[in-house]
Structure 1
Amino acid sequence: MSAFRALALQVRTEAVNGSAEPRALVDSAIGRIAAQTAAAKAWIGPDLRLVVLPEYVLTGFPFGESVAEWRTKAALDPDGPEYLALGEIARGNDLFLCVNAYESDPHFPELFFQATVILDPAGEAVLRYRRLHSMFSPSPYDVWDRYLDVYGMDAVLPVARTELGNLAVLASEEILYPELARALALRGAEVFCNPTSEASAPGLTPKAIARRARAIENLAYVVCANSGGLEGLPIPGDSTSGGSELIDFEGRPLAQAGQGESLVAAAELDLAALRRYRRRPGMGNLLARVKPALWAEEYGRHDVERPGDLAAGPPTRRWFVERQQAAIKRLYGPDAT
């Protein structure tokens, strides 16, 4: 398929933190997403083939809960009924649905991971990405050797080759890490799905700047879905509301949404044009001018955040802070604070 429409569906998030029945709120969120996705398909048209949802849209995020508490309250079973219901949304609307959620893993029963899953029009998961950069949540990098033994590197940096093109995920603040986007682009990614829940502003925020940079650097589309508001926490609800956008492979905004729930951030993605650009010699073809061997050698010289640090069971919030403090000292010396 050389061209199709994509939507960053800006949906309100209802946090489950204080709920006595968190799973009922998850089911309610899935119901709202089902209704809004069907309405978006009817509104935008049959060529709507990709819908990206905001970060942790089903639950909100941990707000003081321990890893064990949040796993029990909010983590989905990868084979559980919630993903089946989301798959039905994709199947019923003949589109690819990208959803970000916390989920459990039988290989790491004491932890949860923040996952982004892309479901195809048959309702099947064609990509499952576990976030690698997270300040206060476990990641595959924290249990690195064991994770690679179980899943392998292709599951750490997945790219889904689909009828729409090659899809990949940059979760939330991971848009700020150029190495991740570049690695996925070298693996063939053409469209970056960027579920997020962030502060929007009239001017360009750091993440908005990064979205344009990642698109330009990698000659890729970026489909970024931000929250349409946040309820159930003491944080002001519109702090994470608005600014969903689609960026083309030259860094130009194709569509942007204001605050609140919205289907305004929708536009056509022209994969044929992207592929022509990627195959055209010239200064602008940045991806074809990358020097991976040079950077692999240089990066290997530096000791910052170490893999596999999480070996003693579920981490506390303090553990995450102490890990970063240790990395800062390795970067700037033992006297760094």
Structure 2
Amino acid sequence: MTSFRAAAIQMRSGVDPERNAADLAEYVGDAVGKGAVYVQTPEMTGALQRDRKTLASVLKGEADDVIVRTASALAAKHGIHLHIGSTAIARDDGKIANRAFVFGPDGKMLTRYDKIHMFDVDLDNGESWRESAVYAPGADTVLIDLPFARLGLAICYDVRFPQLFRAQALAGASVISAPAAFTRQTGEAHWHVLQRARAIENGAFMISAAQGGVHEDGRETFGHSLIVAPWGEVLAEAAHADPAIIVADIDPALSAAARAKVPNLKNARPFGLIVENDGEKTRLDVAS
């Protein structure tokens, strides 16, 4: 594996996929101008629309989606690997997928990933979300071999489930990702520590492009796109919520070096869980 320059694009996607696709083209061109050969966009690149009926009315199937079509053309035009963090896709069964894509330098779609974990939460100040009411969850995590690294795909809320990234790391991923549309409230509390923790505990680069600012549908996202090294250093950050492009040089050998210094992936052992209640013990087997 060889060193490469990665870019994370911070966006403020609106409700119109066509307009967001035009913004995408501009941002990708700027990222390539900064020397990036791998470019990542945030969750819901195509549209942030919280009204379910309105969202459904603008959705297309994968073959007709404007973001898919634009991303394929941009990857081929610039000769890069383009990772669409996600966009909403109408499935053949009438449901909606929160789906990521990776395109190769010839414009070919290399892989896709549907977000597994649904953001069903009740936050402070009345903020509540039920992604499961809109989206169908995926079932499988995905790795893709790029010329310069094995990349693990995830989306936003997935970042709170470390077992997903552990499985990717054990399968050889030296770069992991969680492009996101984190709420401002959860981002202020948890974004940085979660991103750095996933990088450190897996000895992997973490690249997460983010949505940022107040969107047309009224939601507010945190921004602060990040690229983190396997030892936990923040290599690049958009330290705000405005649209931006961050870049960093990624050397996959540093992943192997971090794992050699602290070989927690190798040192993990199976263990049981004992629950004691009134002198009685119950033992449960759990994963390492």
What is the aligned partner in structure 2 of residue 49 from structure 1?
A: 37
Alignment map for 1:10-89 (pairs within 5 Å):
10-15=10-15, 25-42=16-33, 44-45=34-35, 48-63=36-51, 65=52, 70-74=55-59, 76-82=60-66, 83-89=68-74
Does the 8 A contact of 1:247 with 1:254 survive in 2?
Answer: yes
Residues of 2 paired with 1:71 and 1:259: CA distance? Answer: 27
What letter matches 1:27 in structure 2? E
Alignment map for 1:230-241 (pairs within 5 Å):
230-235=214-219, 239-241=220-222
The counterpart of 1:261, out of the listed 222, 227, 243, is 243
Q: Which has the larger helix fraction?
A: 1
Residues of 2 paired with 1:270 and 1:204: CA distance? Answer: 29
Number of residue pairs matched?
260
Residues 116-170 of structure 1 deviation map (CA, whole Å, 9 limit, x = unaligned): 11111111222211111102233346xx6xxxxxxxxxxx121001102111112
Residues of 1 paired with 2:268 and 2:55: CA distance? Answer: 41
Residue 97 of structure 2 is aligned to residue 113 of structure 1: yes
Indicate the percent of aligned positions where both proteins have the same amino acid. 22
Q: Which has the larger strand fraction?
A: 2
Q: Which secondary structure does the structure 1 equivalent of 2:151 belong to?
A: strand
Once the 2 structures are TM-superposed, how far is the Cα of residue 290 of structure 1 from its aligned partner?
A: 2.4
Does the 8 A contact of 2:188 with 2:222 survive in 1?
Answer: no
Does the 8 A contact of 1:115 with 1:128 survive in 2?
Answer: yes
Residues of 2 paired with 1:288 and 1:204: CA distance? Answer: 33
Q: Could you state the TM-score of these two structures normalised by the residue count of structure 2?
A: 0.82
Distance change >3 Å, CA 294–CA 183, structure 1 → 2: farther
Structure 1 stretches of 5 or more lacking a match?
A: 16-24, 145-155, 301-337
Does the 8 A contact of 1:50 with 1:97 survive in 2?
Answer: yes
What is the aligned partner in structure 1 of residue 226 from structure 2?
A: 245
Structure 2 stretches of 5 or more lacking a match?
A: 121-130, 274-283
Residues 228-249 of structure 1 deviation map (CA, whole Å, 9 limit, x = unaligned): 33432233xxx31431110111
Residues of 1 paired with 2:17 and 2:264: CA distance? Answer: 42
Q: Which secondary structure does the structure 2 equivalent of 1:195 belong to?
A: coil
Residues of 1 paired with 2:173 and 2:272: CA distance? Answer: 22
Distance change >3 Å, CA 290–CA 12, structure 1 → 2: same
What is the aligned partner in structure 1 of residue 124 from structure 2?
A: none
Once the 2 structures are TM-superposed, how far is the Cα of residue 89 of structure 1 from its aligned partner?
A: 0.9
What is the aligned partner in structure 2 of residue 139 from structure 1?
A: 136
Distance change >3 Å, CA 61–CA 234, structure 1 → 2: closer
Residue 79 of structure 2 is aligned to residue 94 of structure 1: yes
What is the aligned partner in structure 1 of residue 280 from structure 2?
A: none
Once the 2 structures are TM-superposed, how far is the Cα of residue 259 of structure 1 from its aligned partner?
A: 2.6
What is the aligned partner in structure 2 of residue 330 from structure 1?
A: none
What letter matches 2:22 in structure 1? G
What is the aligned partner in structure 2 of residue 271 from structure 1?
A: 252
Q: Could you state the TM-score of these two structures normalised by the residue count of structure 1?
A: 0.71
Residues of 1 paired with 2:141 and 2:252: CA distance? Answer: 21
Alignment map for 1:190-201 (pairs within 5 Å):
190-200=174-184
Q: Which secondary structure does the structure 2 equivalent of 1:243 belong to?
A: coil
Residues of 2 paired with 1:294 and 1:113: CA distance? Answer: 36
What is the aligned partner in structure 2 of residue 163 from structure 1?
A: 147
Does the 8 A contact of 1:175 with 1:207 survive in 2?
Answer: no
Distance change >3 Å, CA 215–CA 204, structure 1 → 2: farther
Once the 2 structures are TM-superposed, how far is the Cα of residue 87 of structure 1 from its aligned partner?
A: 0.7
The counterpart of 1:285, out of the listed 240, 263, 287, is 263
Q: Which secondary structure does the structure 2 equivalent of 1:174 belong to?
A: helix
What letter matches 1:259 in structure 2? A
Does the 8 A contact of 1:8 with 1:52 survive in 2?
Answer: yes
Residues of 1 paired with 2:95 and 2:168: CA distance? Answer: 26
Q: Which secondary structure does the structure 1 equivalent of 2:285 belong to?
A: helix
Once the 2 structures are TM-superposed, how far is the Cα of residue 294 of structure 1 from its aligned partner?
A: 6.4
Once the 2 structures are TM-superposed, how far is the Cα of residue 299 of structure 1 from its aligned partner?
A: 4.2
What letter matches 1:240 in structure 2? T
Does the 8 A contact of 2:6 with 2:250 survive in 1?
Answer: yes
Distance change >3 Å, CA 12–CA 299, structure 1 → 2: same
Alignment map for 1:174-253 (pairs within 5 Å):
174-200=158-184, 205-235=189-219, 239-253=220-234
The counterpart of 1:104, out of the listed 90, 93, 101, is 90
Residues of 2 paired with 1:61 and 1:55: CA distance? Answer: 12
